[in-house]
Structure 1
Amino acid sequence: MSHPLRLAALLLPLLAAPALGQTTLRIGIGADPNVLDPAQSSSFVERVVFAALCDKLVDVGPDLQFQPELATAWQWAPDGRALTLTLREGAHFHDGSPVDAAAVKANLDRYRTARESRRRTELAQVSVVETPDARTVRLVLSQPYAPLLSVLADRAGMMLAPAVLPRGAAIGQDPVCSGPFRLTRRVAQDRIEMEKFAGHWNAANIHADRLVFLPIPDNNIRLLNLRAGQLDLIERVAPVDVPAAERDARLTLVAGASIAYQTLALNLGHGPLAQRPLGSDARVREAFERSIDRAIINQVALEGRFTANNQPEPPGTAYHFADLAPLPRDVARARALLREAGHERVAFTLKVPNQPVEAQVAQIIQAMAAEAGFDISIETMEAAALVAATQRGDFEMSLNIWSGRPDPDGNIAPWVASNGFLNRGKYSNPQVDALFAQARAVTETAARQPLYRQAAELWMADRPYLMLYHYRWFWAMRRGVEGFVPNPDGIIRFAGLRLPR
């Protein structure tokens, strides 16, 4: 076996030297993005890259409050059926064209209607996009839709140059956005290179001339490269590596609260694999949940640094329902449920991303479930291949991360609504859909809480997803890197970030 440091050196050959006086920010990320098109994107790591490449209409701050980006102001109509955005003056796309109302309308209409767009369900309530003038965009809704600002603070709010929109599904090969950096080169499974966009509205606050993302799925190798000076910043430091990063005088470790969570997705209705015992029988799914212990997973695989949880909202927040607590592990009851369903043992495959922490989580689940009668085969896959497999229904169970959204609808509806863009197991419950629709039509927390709770009771009984834990974010960087601000969504913001002088 190769020594880790030698392997790290092989992973990161020397980058081309920048021009004299230029600075290059090198960031190690946990996976290689699948597609660099906000319309088609569905993975967390793509959002990390998009933060450099594509500005959004609205952003979310460290306090999870909405803040201006390409839109500097917004106002709801009194009846909640329209949202008016005022666009920033002087914003441009990387091709020099202006970010004006016509460009925003063209992007939103593509997200709403294009065949390749995964944003259609997120913007389904938008019936028309109006442009009263060059700096004003009005989204007219078929019904009140409380999560809309949260939607515009994510991929559906990312703007691309109108000139590239006719490329459709091919946009991801060479996206032209309006972010602080523009794409210059991409080598799949190796690197994504960008350069500072001098025409960016906030260019004065961007302090790196070049930006390089290097996908390194192995958490330990990512950290070793940072310690060897081949990286400047890495995301998602594994809990087991936190003590080493804290002890290293050459590094700074930053920890932050997180709204991200890890979940197990089950295939209940997508193709032949849904007809197997796990997907077709609720008793088998309950037996599986009773075979695992979320607290043990957190302690053994995650050093107890995360938060065991069975819901999409973190404990202690407005839409977490403490009385809907995780089932305690009960191997005897799990075995009895399997026998009721006509099985002594049930075999299935768990697909997991090619990352050490997730692999260890899967192994712990495998060992616990075996005691209750489940024979789990673990299939480790690259992130893009895993997404593709689940999208075509080629899975019984998969391990997935969700980076979290400031609105509760964005933390559950994409997964369990019948038309949710992440509902790859094709779960469908009309009662759940109806409750989501009611919750989206009101803005008051007190009115929305009971609706999401009723929905939770239903989907938690059906078990299309089993949330396991909420993250705590850990980033590490070279000593002297300044201006890094942790965000609960786990996304790196580049404004104000400086390399050591």
Structure 2
Amino acid sequence: MNAPISTRSALARRSFLGLALGTAATLALAACGSGAPVTAGGAAGGTVKWGWALPTSWDPVFSSAGWDVHDLSLVYAGLTKLDEKGDAVPALATGWTYSPDGTTVTFKLRTGLSFSDGTALDAAAVKKSLDRGRGDAKSLVAPQLVHIKEIAAPDPQTVVLTLTQADYQIPNLLAGKTGMIVSPKAFEEDAAGLASRPVGAGPFTLSSYTQNAKAVLKRNPGYWDASSIKLDNFEIYPLPDASTVVAALQSGQYNVAQIPGSQVAAAKAAGLEVQVIPSLVVAVLDINPTKAPFDNPLVVQALKYAIDREALLKTQQFGFGDVSYQPFPKGYVGYDAGSADLFPHDPAKAKELLAQAGHPDGVELTITTTSAQGLPEQLQAQLKEVGIKTTIEVIPAAQATQIIYIQHSRALFTDQFAGRDSAPQAFQVLFGEQGLMNPGRSTPPELKAAVDLVSRTPLDSPDYPKNLQAATALAVRTMPNTFLYSVPRILARQKTVSAIPPYTVVQRFEGVTAP
């Protein structure tokens, strides 16, 4: 990664993000926003025009991509949030306490909270919102809430979560999409409408939305921390094309944009400010071990040894990031030093494994992707050297969510790790039996036990790092997921926009000013 991580308490609370996919149609939203008065602070004003990505859904319960959390955090708030270091800190709640055995956690809410539709955000509303996330038959966050047995609201300011087992990750877990609080009035009256008309209690409200094109947001004066929001307006655009992003920034189409490593030099030459923000995103290949040829574990191992990750990093990232063999980066509490070079580039070993698998003359497979250029082509060339003959299948980005994340109907897909807000949650997404990035839908019993142990270990316990690293080591040796390299967040901006806070987890914009 591009910056050191300093404290173990911070490391224990890091989360992971992935890439989102766009949607298509045009909708107009009625502007809404009411609630508590704005507290004293700096004057608001200005507009950020962010070239980034539009969400798969504005409903956090059905959002299917980790990257969505950046957009959703603009319109929703949770009981907690993650600070710049990744620590869970108070948000809608002023704090929380655990019972001595870790099976109950109690949150105290701020007073005077409201949703952007004007309805009260009290303990009863929090209970309804979280119960929807864990109870809806199609919920994509339900697997992360399995340790919650019951939610109670004994009074308007108190939310009590009773757990099926000790789980000290709950404040981290609720800081992301899983814990975003949605207006009960909105989902009781028109749940489907939330996909394009979010109703939350975040720093902004969505006023208009053209799917696959643009989202326009307005400052929410009822946000609990409104004094920290200096912008009046916020606009979000789809991920810019690499070949035009610098020109678009110069012209003012965007004033902040995500750029690839290939454009860093051009952006600096154009007089733009460039920030390389450490991110816990990692490029990965999703592999389905129930489909040939990966139903033979030796073929999976051969693939891992056939890949030259150093070459991929240099070409695909222009050197920004690190080679990776595991989901966690160097310096993170879950990083397992014993897996630092687990599958080094070794063509001879890859060929030997293929022969042992019954494929002495090589094997054929399909690489599924949303874009043939770049990584898939480089992988194709590398795999050819060891006798793995590949066909590249390009699927529409708009269909990838259904084909890859829901149906799990492909053998191999080029992906990025859509991580989550606590380490066990990240394990669930990657390796859990219902994990979006576990197309095989199976998990070794010993890995389940290792992840449960991590959840039941307090973050300040000296056993926490040891238990988490042991789970990492077990996962990368028993699961087919093939990690490639880390992907930092590279933002270019016009000089009239103030520096973007370097949040490792969710990109936030507190204190940012713009013309």
Q: Give the alignment's TM-score, normalised by structure 1.
A: 0.88
- The equivalent of 1:431 in structure 2 is 446
- The equivalent of 2:333 in structure 1 is 318
Compute the displacement of 1:225 (Å): 1.1
- For the residue of structure 1 that corresponds to 2:143, the secondary structure is coil
- The equivalent of 2:423 in structure 1 is 408
- 1:93 matched to 2:118? The reply is no
1:208 and 1:379 mapped to 2: Cα distance?
A: 43
- The equivalent of 1:481 in structure 2 is 497
Compute the displacement of 1:282 (Å): 0.4
- The equivalent of 2:369 in structure 1 is 352
Deviations 1:202-258 (A, max 9, x none): 3333233332211035233333311221111112x2111111222222x21112222
1:320 and 1:75 mapped to 2: Cα distance?
A: 28
2:225 and 2:466 mapped to 1: Cα distance?
A: 42
1:217 and 1:499 mapped to 2: Cα distance?
A: 20
| Aligned positions of 1:234-383 closer than 5 A | 234-235=257-258, 237-249=259-271, 251-268=272-289, 274-278=290-294, 280-324=295-339, 325-343=341-359, 344-354=361-371, 359-383=373-397
Q: Amino acid of the residue matched to residue 234 of structure 2?
A: L
- For the residue of structure 2 that corresponds to 1:254, the secondary structure is strand
Deviations 1:290-318 (A, max 9, x none): 11121121122212221101111111332
1:425 and 1:193 mapped to 2: Cα distance?
A: 39
Over 3 Å counting, the alpha-carbon distance change for 1:232 and 1:209 in structure 2 is same
- The equivalent of 2:86 in structure 1 is 64
2:260 and 2:396 mapped to 1: Cα distance?
A: 18
Compute the displacement of 1:445 (Å): 5.0
- For the residue of structure 1 that corresponds to 2:74, the secondary structure is helix
2:492 and 2:257 mapped to 1: Cα distance?
A: 5
Over 3 Å counting, the alpha-carbon distance change for 1:319 and 1:201 in structure 2 is closer
Q: Which runs of 5+ in 2 are unaligned?
A: 1-43
Q: Give the share of equivalent positions with the same residue, in percent.
A: 26
- For the residue of structure 1 that corresponds to 2:336, the secondary structure is coil
- For the residue of structure 2 that corresponds to 1:323, the secondary structure is helix
- For the residue of structure 2 that corresponds to 1:469, the secondary structure is strand
Contact 2:110 2:157 in 1 (8 A): yes
- For the residue of structure 2 that corresponds to 1:467, the secondary structure is strand
1:353 and 1:488 mapped to 2: Cα distance?
A: 26
Q: Amino acid of the residue matched to residue 315 of structure 2?
A: V
- For the residue of structure 2 that corresponds to 1:308, the secondary structure is coil
Contact 2:322 2:486 in 1 (8 A): yes
Contact 2:368 2:393 in 1 (8 A): yes
Compute the displacement of 1:57 (Å): 1.5
1:471 and 1:371 mapped to 2: Cα distance?
A: 26
Equivalent of 1:468, from 480, 484, 497? 484
- For the residue of structure 2 that corresponds to 1:43, the secondary structure is coil
Q: Which moved more, 1:215-224 or 1:251-260?
A: 215-224
Q: Give the alignment's TM-score, normalised by structure 2.
A: 0.86
- For the residue of structure 1 that corresponds to 2:299, the secondary structure is helix
- 1:37 matched to 2:54? The reply is no
Q: More relative contact order in 1 or in 2 (CA 8 Å, sep 6+)?
A: 2
- The equivalent of 2:513 in structure 1 is 498
2:243 and 2:377 mapped to 1: Cα distance?
A: 18
What is the number of equivalent residue pairs in this alignment? Answer: 467
Compute the displacement of 1:113 (Å): 0.8
Contact 2:147 2:165 in 1 (8 A): yes
Q: Which runs of 5+ in 1 are unaligned?
A: 1-20, 269-273
Over 3 Å counting, the alpha-carbon distance change for 1:84 and 1:476 in structure 2 is same
Compute the displacement of 1:415 (Å): 1.0
Deviations 1:140-175 (A, max 9, x none): 111101221111011121011111222345531322
Cα RMSD of the aligned pairs, angstroms, is 2.1
Q: Amino acid of the residue matched to residue 183 of structure 1?
A: L
Q: Amino acid of the residue matched to residue 353 of structure 2?
A: L
Counting helix residues as a fraction of each chain, which structure ranks higher? 1
